[in-house]
Chains A and B, each alone.
Chain A
Amino acid sequence: MVIMQNYVIKKEDLNKLVERALDDYDVYAPVQKKSIHVYDQISDPASMDLNYGQTMTSAKKLFNPPVENMMTFDFDKKEIKDRLEDTIPETPSLIVGLHACDINGLLFLDRVYGGEYDDLYYQKRREKTTIIGLNCLESCESGFCRSVNTHIVLEGYDLFLTPIEDERYYVNVGSPKGDRLITLAPDLFEEATEDDVDAFRKSLQKKHESLPVEFHLDNLTETLDMAWDDPIWEEIGEDCMNCGSCALVCPTCYCFDVVDEVGLDLKESTRKRKWDTCLYYDFALVAGNHNFREEPEARLKYRFYHKMRGAVHDQGIIACTGCGRCIDACPAGISFLDVLAQLQKNWASAPTIEGGN
C-alpha cells in the first residue's frame, strides 16, 4: 500500500481549484434549488453551496440517471446498436462535496452493478468520475449515518476534505485521481504540519461527539427475522401511499425498468431503462396478472426487508447509508429510523443502546 501525503487547503482556495478543474472536467456540486439542495452541473464555483445538510436525491443520479438509452433498433436494416458510448460523456466528471453517506452509497452500488454482472453504463461513468468528499462534523436534520456506520469512509473518494480551524480543509488523498487534482493546482495545497494533524484530530473528535447513535446495527438482522408479523407493518401501511419517493431519493436503491419506445415512423425503436421501485404495483406484476406483492403494505414491508435484511444476504451489508433522505422525502412522515428503532424495541435480543436485555 502506498502511503499518501496529506495536505491542507484554504476554504477559499477550493473555489480556485474548482475553477481550474472546469477546463478538464464537467463539474457537479450541491447547489440550492428553491428550498432544497440538489447535485447539479456548475460552470461557476460560486454557485456551489457546500454548507448543505442533504441533497434531495443522491449522487446516484450522476451514475445511473433516471432515464437512460441502452440500445436502438433499426427495423428496416435489422440493426441493433449499443448506445453505451453515446450515453457516457466524453469529458471526465468531478463531483465536489460528497458526504460520507453518499460515498458509501456509491460503494454499495459498485457491488450491485459490478460483481456477478457488470453494468457498463454505471461503471464507465464511475471510472470517469473524480470525487472530492466532504466530512460532516455535525449531524444533518434526518440523517442517522453513525447508527449504520456510514459516517466514515475508508475508500471511494479521490480527495476527502475535513473542515479544520482557520477556515481550512484537511485533505486526505485517496487515489491517483486525487493526486492529479493536486498537481492541477499545487500552489493551493500545503503539506499538513503536525499542528494541522492535531486540528484534524480535533475535528474528528467534534464529529464523534456530535453525531448520535440512534439505534443498534448489531441485532438488526435478528430483529427483522422475528418482526415479519409485527403489527407495525399494517400501521405504517395505513399511512404509506406507495408513492415511491423514499426509494427514488435513496442512494442505494438500484432497481430499474426496461422499456422499448418505438419511433413514430415505426421504423426504429429505443430501449431505455428508467428508475423503478418495489413500492409500485406493476413492479412485482408478472404474466397471468399475478402479483407477488398485491397489497400496498406488502410492498412497503418488502422495501424495508430488502434493504435491511435481503441486502445483508446478497452483499454482506445493509443497503442503507443513514442519509435520511427517505425520511425527508416521505409525504406521510414515515421515518425509516423510527420504524427500525421501534422494531428493535419490540424484538431486541442483543445489546441495545440502553444496554439492556
Chain B
Amino acid sequence: MSDNGKPKVGIFGLTGCAGCQLNILNIEDHLLDILGLVDITTWVMAKQENSDGPWDIAFVEGSVAKESEVERVKKIREKSDVLIAIGACATHGGLPAIRNMRDIEEMKETVYGEQTSHLDVIPIKPVSHYVDVDAELPGCPMDKMEFVRAVMALAMKKTPQVPNYSVCYECRVNENPCLLDEGKFCMGPVTQAGCDSLCPSYGAACEGCRGPIAQVNWGAEVKILKEMGATADQIRRKFLKYCPSTADMEDFQELTL
C-alpha cells in the first residue's frame, strides 16, 4: 500500500503492440476515478519517474518472447501481490505467436539478415506459462471497461470476473443475425464473451481474440466450419490466430481438422 492507503499498481509491457496499455490511456472518462482508487507507481508508457516495486497489483501486457522477458516477468511476479495478464498476447500468446508456427532461424534471417546473434528469441508463450497469474483479461485489445471493472474489483479485494459464456450471448442480446448463417467463419460460439460482440455487430466474423470459454466444445465448432466448406488450414488459423496457446491444449490436439 502507498502512504495514502491506496494499492500500488505497476503496468508493464512485454512483446506485443502496446495497444492494451494504450487502451488504458484511452479511458479518459474514468482515468481520474481510477487514480482515485490506486496509485500507479510504475508505468513507463505514461510516467517519467517509475518505481522498482514492490507493487500490490501488476498488470502485464504482451507475450513472453525472449529469454530476457522470462527473467523480467519472474521479477515482476516476485515483487507483486497480485498479477493480472491483460490482452490476448499475455493471456494466450496473441498475434506475435504466429512466429511459433514457422522456422525460427529462417524468420530471424528474413528480418535481420545475417546479424542475428544478438537475438534471444524463444518460442512465444503466454505469461501464465512462466508465472502464476491471478486473473486474465483477454482480448485484442483488452476491453477497456473490463479493465476498469477489474481495477474496482481488486480495490475491493475481489477477483475480477470475465463472462463465462460465449459471444453468442451478446450477439443474441444485440439482435445480430448469425454470421455462420451468412457463411462467415465465425468463432463466436466458442469464444469468451465480454466484447459486447463488437466485430459481429459490424458484420465481421468473430476472430476468437478473447480465447476459448471454459468447457468449450471445439469439436462442434470444427464440424460447423467444415460443413461450411472451411479447409483444415483455415480452421486451424481461425482457432490459433489470436490464441496460439490453444494449440498446447490436449482437447485441441485431439481434434481431427
Contact = CB atoms under 8 A, between A and B. Distances in A.
Nearest to B175: A38
Contacts of A329: 172, 178
Contact of A280 (B34, B165, B190): B165
A175 B148 CA distance: 49
Interface string A219-250: 00000000000000000001111111100110
A262 interface: yes
Contact of B180 (A36, A281, A331): A331
Contact of A243 (B33, B164, B166, B214): B166
Given A240-B217, A266-B155, A57 B175 contact: yes
Contact of B37 (A238, A249, A266): A266
A178 B168 CA distance: 38
Q: How large is the interface on A (under 10, 10 to 19, 20 to 34, 35 or more residues)?
A: 20 to 34
B30 A244 contact: no
B1 interface: no
B5 interface: no
Contacts of B190: 241
A331 B181 CA distance: 8
B37 A264 contact: yes
Interface residues of B, number: 37
A239 B220 contact: yes
Interface of A: 33-36, 38, 56-57, 66, 238-245, 248-249, 262, 264-266, 275, 280-282, 296, 329, 331-333
Given A238-B220, A264-B33, A281-B215, 6 more contacts: A38-B175, A57-B175, A238-B217, A264-B34, A281-B165, A332-B223
26 contacts: A34-B177, A36-B177, A38-B175, A56-B175, A239-B220, A239-B223, A241-B168, A241-B190, A241-B217, A241-B221, A244-B166, A245-B168, A245-B171, A248-B173, A262-B152, A264-B34, A264-B36, A264-B37, A265-B36, A281-B164, A296-B215, A329-B172, A329-B178, A331-B178, A331-B180, A331-B188
Interface of B: 30, 33-34, 36-37, 148, 152, 155-156, 164-166, 168-169, 171-173, 175, 177-178, 180-182, 186, 188-190, 203, 214-217, 219-221, 223-224
